[in-house]
Amino acid sequence: MRFLPILIILLFLSSTSRSILAQDSSTNNDKFPDDSPAWTARQIKARGQTLTYKARAGFLSLYSDSRELKGRMFYVSYTLERPKGAPPRPLTFAWNGGPGSPAATLHLAFLGPRRAKTIDEYQSPPPPYQLTDNDDTWLSFTDLVLVDPIGTGYSYPAKAEYLKDFWNVPGDIDSIGEFIRLYQSHFDCADAPLFIAGESYGTIRAAGLAKILTDRRLPLSGVILISMGNLIRSTAANDDLAPALILPSYTATAFFHKKLPADLQADLQTTLKQAEDWAQSDYLVALIKGDRLSPNDRDTVVKQLARFTGIDPAFVAKSNLRIGVDQFARQLLKDRGLEVGHYGSNLTFKVTSENAPYDLWADPSLVSNGTSALIVAYLRSELGFNSDARYAGPWGGGWPSPRTPRADWTAFRFDFGPSGFNFNVAQDLADAMRRVPTMRVFVAHGYFDLVTPYFGAEYALSHMGLDQAARRNVVVKKYFGGHSMYTEKQTLTQMSNDIGEFIRTTTPAKRPTPSVQ
């Protein structure tokens, strides 16, 4: 299961943001039984403009219809000051993936008013990691709510046995829908144009949530999907589609590392178009034919597959025409003793042993500017929220320690259904778009992401059964970078510009006529 988010545990916070009103730093979780948050009024400079905003950090409590407390969900929100009588600003709820990741990476590496510096911004290699004012913050064009799903960050179930109600695909999605309803009610902001944003597994959550929100008659204006997971997941043992959908990402990687033939190294877009065309024609036909493929045709496919991947033809010939991610990552730069990152194949690391399995912890593309180390210190020192609880992520690390390896990793405890990792939220998103004709979807992908390849996302989008009017409401952008492509400074700015334009040009959804309950 490779929807795991980008995290690393490192060092401390260095802050330069100004606080206008500081909250008592001794604030603790148990001092907020009525869901009143800690809050501060703050300012930053972003692209020459002063942004004055209110930051809240706290919990909202989820109750069943019988008023039984089921869980408390932690969030951080940012609300920009606006002139009296001005219309409501757009409001975006955002989360990371995993499943089991808190919102820290999106929060402090991409869209919050403060962000971790990207690696290229340091004079010498970090750590220590540092925060800086975020010129590219989404707060310039939307108010923000960063959400930690139950069991992540500071969010927790009211009883241990309730965790199973949240750690499954429908339960996880539904709980975020309830949180959004609660937030709108608690802070009287139901009239604000509503957007939702997720990354990686969080895109599956967002796609399914679009239908939940429309079921609840909450007007949803737009959905932002970053490194979109395959919204149609199947456990079919003999999947002939996956190798074809990841091929263009292999090609982009080989292009970056200059491993393609000379005629394919001239222009990335031209080369990717050729790879995409071949992947969905001759290559896919060959995969479907299996052992019915003639020897001559097989030799032709082997040569083309080696040509578009930069992999040794002798290795390709032994691969059954299917090159797995682990194999590709290890083989592409084998002559240099390097392996490419799975979450960002433009990055590399040394191979310690040719037969060693992929080492998640050695992969440099999992590093996300130290956000997991910065988040707790940021909450304490800048937002006045102080807790001794563990800020939980997908890798476990809680107490008591597990008795078996990885037994506390969220992905291994999450319930993906009776057949295992089998769901179709693409139709949920399609249904929501049909109900709200103005709803728009923004999809962002990195060329070097081998975990959620961009061509797989395009396949899922093209099989949602949308009519032409709805299909025009889907915006797809591809960027230089990997799974969290915004950790590249240039890409960060470009993505922020594109998403800002997307939100500004989206027509707010109309509130539907209330149904009879």
User: Tens of pLDDT along 161-183?
Assistant: 999 999 999 999 999 999 999 99
Q: For residue 394, is it within any domain?
A: no
- The verdict on residue 146 lying in a domain is yes
Angle at the Cα of 174 from the Cα atoms of 160 and 486, rounded to 5 degrees:
95
Q: Which has more confidence, 36 or 133?
A: 133
* Cα separation, 471 vs 490, whole angstroms: 29
Same domain, 174 and 218: yes
413 located within any domain? no
The average pLDDT across 290-314 equals 96
Q: Examine the pLDDT at 348 and tell me if it is beyond 90.
A: yes
- Identify the three-state secondary structure at position 116: strand
Q: Are residues 173 and 261 in the same domain?
A: no
Q: Please check whether residues 253 and 360 belong to one and the same domain.
A: yes
What are 11-40's pLDDT values in tens digits? 223 333 333 333 333 334 455 456 889 999
Strand 440-446, strand 220-226: pairing: parallel
**pLDDT greater at residue 117 or residue 422:** 117
Question: pLDDT: is 493 or 233 the higher one?
Answer: 493
What is the mean pLDDT of the segment spanning 137-165?
97
Does 379 lie in the same domain as 322?
A: no
- Dihedral over Cα of 382, 384, 388, 389: its sign: negative
For residues 144 and 23, membership in a common domain is answered with yes
- CA of residue 74 relative to chain centroid, distance: 18
Please tell me whether residues 250 and 378 are part of one structural domain: no
303 lies in the same domain as 429? no
495 belongs to a structural domain: yes
Q: Residue 366 has what pLDDT?
A: 84
Evaluate the omega torsion of the peptide bond into residue 400 and state whether it is cis, within 30 degrees of 0.
Answer: yes
The verdict on residue 474 lying in a domain is: yes
How many percent of the chain have pLDDT more than 70? 90
pLDDT in tens, 453-508: 999 999 999 999 999 999 999 999 999 999 999 998 999 999 999 999 999 999 99
Looking at the structure, tell me whether residues 198 and 269 fall in a common domain: no
**pLDDT tens, residue by residue, 180-227:** 999 999 999 999 999 999 999 999 999 999 999 999 999 999 999 999
pLDDT average, residue stretch 303-327: 96
Residue 293's pLDDT is 94
CA distance linking residue 231 with residue 209, whole number of Å:
12
Mean pLDDT for the stretch of residues 77-96: 94
pLDDT confidence of residue 143: 98
Question: Can you tell me the distance from the alpha carbon of 296 to that of 446, in angstroms, rounded to the nearest whole number?
Answer: 36
- Residue 68 has a pLDDT of 96
The pLDDT score that the predictor gives to residue 34 is 65
CA distances from 240 to 220, 228, 306 (A): 36, 20, 18
Report yes or no on 4 lying in a domain.
no
Give residue 329's domain range.
242-366
**Strands, E assignment, 64-169:** 69-80, 91-95, 114-116, 131-133, 143-148, 156-157
513 is a domain residue: no
Residue 175 · residue 205 · CB < 8 Å: no
Written in H, E and C, the secondary structure of 471-501 is HCCEEEEEECCCCCHHHCHHHHHHHHHHHHH
Q: How does pLDDT run across 363-405, given as a tens digit for each residue?
A: 888 877 888 889 999 999 999 999 999 999 998 888 899 998 8
For residues 98 and 55, the model is more confident at: 55
| pLDDT for 421 | 57
The two tokens of residue 464 are 């949602």
My answer on whether 205 and 247 are in the same domain is no
Inform me whether the pLDDT recorded for 362 exceeds 90: no
d(C-alpha 284, C-alpha 467), whole Å = 26
Q: Residue 103: give its domain's CATH number.
A: 3.40.50.1820
State whether 34 and 59 are in the same domain.
yes
- According to the model, what pLDDT value does residue 354 have? 77
At residue 419 the predicted structure's pLDDT band, cuts being 50, 70 and 90, is: low
Q: Are residues 222 and 264 in the same domain?
A: no
Flag the least confident range among 350-354, 421-425, 443-447: 421-425
pLDDT at 4 over 60: no
- Mean pLDDT value across the chain: 89
How many structural domains does the chain have? 2
In a domain, 390, yes or no: no
Q: Which of 366, 400, 432 is the last residue of a domain?
A: 366
Residues 24 and 147 in one domain: yes
User: How, if at all, do strands 156-157 and 194-199 pair?
Assistant: unpaired
